């Protein structure tokens, strides 16, 4: 059986190869009974109960399809669509890559029967605007589809209910809110970015059972196991940028690329927070072969010749006003948002983690705990900085969840400010 293209392709040649292959299989493969690499299993029939139970079942399928776009649609949403007629799935599609046809259009184009009178399940409200593509709501009306089941309303102010209006005014029955929480969670990056213009920031850190991110000698390879490390690379594939402090570059000289064995993946933009531009010109992040660029964020404290030398290595420099003598992270996030960066994976170190939490740019925390003990009064912990003096001032997470990778645990949670 063909391997699903989960996390497949990146930029350049492979990008086009993937898009080409998906287009061919979309239009031909599925509907000649061949296996389709876009759709791992192309079940043309899903049996289930009636009413809402059936709606959930088809929406689950649309949600699964939408996940195939992870990493490739940013900063646009992950969207899947399923068309059902006479109790059978007759067409499926998802938003495959940024700028490409929307999920609904792919599903309509893939339909193996006339969609007249059918129901379309789509994870996001069909759009009403002329963007890179014409409005999907109009295409649905013109197709003769009779009913639209929507997962979540589109938070994009250009759409926000107008897509549903177009459908209803044309006499199409619309149901909304099926699997809404799951779909919102999958699109949490899109929701924040489209409504604020600011990137969704995930603080990721890994520690031992006794709360250390390295031993007293600074050794940190590896605290977590392979499964956890793969999850980090999936996160890097998913986000637009990865951010670290200069301390991490000086200590570890990381590449900050995405490495997922057996599949091609997208590299994030690398952002180094480096107030005085201390980065060595030989640092790996300034000498990588990667389609994604490196950005050095500094303040006016940085030496101009040094900044010119960094630029001559191909990196971009962003100068921010000082915040407590360091890079202003709020300003930096606005600058990154303006460059189309919808999400940041913040990978330390402990000083930057504290500044990010203190300056309020963090939306989500992903904390790996590996059941190892290293001790040491001077061994580093995930969050340093000045520290919060009293527990009542502690930064609290809400909506926490636990994942597990072999012996490692991962705690994920959101900063309280997030209304989800």
Burial of 404 (0-12, 13-18, 19+ CB in 10 A): exposed
95 binds, among ligand AOF, Zn ion, none (CB under 5 to 8 A by kind): ligand AOF
**At what angle are helices 162-169 and 136-143 packed, to 10 degrees?**
20
Q: Residue 100 or 382: which CB sits closer to ligand AOF?
A: 100
Q: Could you tell me the smallest distance in angstroms from the CB atom of residue 129 to Zn ion?
A: 8
| Residue selected from 164, 194, 202, 286 as contacting ligand AOF according to rule CB under 6 A | 194
Residue 5 interacting with Zn ion (CB under 5 A): no
Burial of 3 (0-12, 13-18, 19+ CB in 10 A): exposed
Give yes or no for a contact between 148 and 174, defined as CB atoms under 8 angstroms apart.
yes
- Interface mask toward Zn ion for 92-111; x: CB under 5 A: ----------x---------
| Residue selected from 127, 265, 329, 352 as contacting Zn ion according to rule CB under 5 A | 127
Q: Give dist(CA 294, CA 71) in Å, integer.
A: 18
Q: Residue 127 or 295: which CB sits closer to ligand AOF?
A: 127
Strand pairing of 88-94 and 80-85? antiparallel
| Residue selected from 29, 37, 71, 77 as contacting ligand AOF according to rule CB under 6 A | 77
Window of 95-103, 143-151, 243-251, 362-370 that interacts with ligand AOF by CB under 6 A: 95-103
Q: Give dist(CA 216, CA 209) in Å, integer.
A: 15
Question: Nearest Cα to 367, choosing from 410, 323, 402?
Answer: 410
Buried b (16+ CB within 10 A) or exposed e, 15-32: beebeebbbebbeebbbe
| Residue selected from 102, 162, 212, 380 as contacting ligand AOF according to rule CB under 6 A | 102
194 binds, among ligand AOF, Zn ion, none (CB under 5 to 8 A by kind): ligand AOF
Residue 167 interacting with Zn ion (CB under 5 A): no
Strand pairing of 269-273 and 294-298? parallel
DSSP 3: P
Count of residues that interact with ligand AOF, criterion CB under 6 A: 17
Helices (H), 120-187: 136-143, 162-169, 180-186
Q: Could you tell me the smallest distance in angstroms from the CB atom of residue 312 to ligand AOF?
A: 34
Residue 204 interacting with ligand AOF (CB under 6 A): no
Give yes or no for a contact between 290 and 257, defined as CB atoms under 8 angstroms apart.
yes
Q: Residue 75 or 385: which CB sits closer to ligand AOF?
A: 75
Count of residues that interact with Zn ion, criterion CB under 5 A: 3
92 binds, among Zn ion, ligand AOF, none (CB under 5 to 8 A by kind): none
Residues 316, 13, 71, 270, Cα dihedral to 10°: -20
Q: Which residue is nearest to ligand AOF (CB)?
A: 131
Residue 103 interacting with ligand AOF (CB under 6 A): yes
124 binds, among ligand AOF, Zn ion, none (CB under 5 to 8 A by kind): ligand AOF
Give yes or no for a contact between 281 and 381, defined as CB atoms under 8 angstroms apart.
no
Q: How many CB atoms lie within 10 A of CB 169?
A: 10
Q: Residue 104 or 358: which CB sits closer to ligand AOF?
A: 104
- Interface mask toward ligand AOF for 117-136; x: CB under 6 A: -------x--x---xxx--x
DSSP 27: I
Residue 83 interacting with ligand AOF (CB under 6 A): no
Q: Which residues pair with 327 in a beta bridge?
A: 322
Question: Nearest Cα to 383, choosing from 399, 364, 398, 367?
Answer: 367
Residue 107 interacting with ligand AOF (CB under 6 A): no
Given 60, 92, 104, 351, the catalytic residue? 104
Q: How many CB atoms lie within 10 A of CB 368?
A: 24
Calculate the CA 376 to chain-centre distance. 36
Instruction: Scan residues 145-164 and list those touching ligand AOF (CB under 6 A).
Output: 154, 156, 159
Residue 95 interacting with ligand AOF (CB under 6 A): yes
Residue 241 interacting with ligand AOF (CB under 6 A): no
Whether 226 is a known active-site residue: answer no
Give yes or no for a contact between 192 and 336, defined as CB atoms under 8 angstroms apart.
no
Residues that bind ligand AOF (CB under 6 A): 73, 76-77, 79, 95, 102-103, 124, 127, 131-133, 136, 154, 156, 159, 194
Residues that bind Zn ion (CB under 5 A): 102, 127, 136
Catalytic residues: 104
């Amino acid at each position: 059986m063909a391997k699903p293209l989960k996390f497949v392709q990146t930029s350049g040649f492979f990008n086009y190869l993937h898009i080409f292959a998906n287009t061919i299989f979309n239009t031909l493969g599925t509907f000649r009974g061949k296996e389709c690499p876009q759709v791992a299993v192309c079940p043309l029939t899903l049996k289930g109960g009636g009413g809402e139970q059936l709606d959930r079942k088809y929406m689950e399928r649309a949600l699964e399809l939408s996940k195939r776009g992870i990493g490739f649609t940013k900063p646009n949403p992950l969207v899947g669509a399923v068309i059902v007629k006479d109790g059978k799935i007759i067409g499926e599609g998802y938003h495959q890559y940024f700028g490409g046809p929307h999920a609904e259009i792919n599903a309509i184009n893939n339909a193996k029967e006339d969609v007249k009178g059918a129901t379309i399940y789509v994870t996001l409200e069909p759009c009403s605007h002329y963007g890179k593509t014409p409005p999907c709501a109009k295409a649905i009306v013109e197709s003769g589809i009779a009913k639209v089941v929507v997962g979540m309303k589109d938070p994009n102010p250009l759409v926000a209910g107008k897509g549903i209006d177009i459908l209803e005014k044309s006499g199409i029955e619309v149901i909304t809110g099926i699997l809404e929480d799951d779909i919102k969670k999958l699109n949490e990056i899109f929701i924040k970015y489209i409504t604020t213009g600011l990137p969704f920031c995930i603080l990721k850190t890994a520690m031992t059972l006794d709360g250390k991110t390295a031993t007293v000698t600074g050794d940190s390879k590896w605290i977590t196991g392979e499964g956890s490390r793969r999850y980090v690379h999936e996160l890097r594939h998913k986000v637009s940028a990865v951010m670290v402090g200069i301390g991490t570059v000086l200590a570890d000289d990381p590449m900050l690329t995405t490495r997922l064995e057996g599949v091609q993946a997208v590299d994030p933009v690398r952002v180094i927070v480096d107030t005085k531009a201390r980065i060595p010109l030989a640092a790996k992040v300034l000498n990588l072969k990667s389609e994604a660029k490196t950005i050095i964020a500094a303040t006016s404290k940085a030496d101009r010749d040094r900044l010119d030398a960094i630029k001559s290595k191909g990196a971009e420099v962003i100068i921010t006003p000082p915040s407590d003598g360091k890079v202003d992270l709020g300003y930096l996030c606005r600058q990154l948002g303006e460059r189309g960066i919808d999400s940041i994976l913040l990978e330390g170190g402990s000083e930057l983690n504290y500044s990010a939490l203190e300056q309020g740019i963090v939306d989500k925390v992903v904390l790996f705990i590996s059941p190892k003990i290293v001790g040491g009064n001077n061994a580093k912990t995930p969050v340093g900085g000045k520290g919060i003096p009293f527990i009542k001032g502690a930064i609290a997470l809400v909506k926490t969840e636990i994942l597990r990778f072999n012996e490692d645990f991962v705690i994920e949670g959101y900063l309280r400010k997030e209304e989800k």
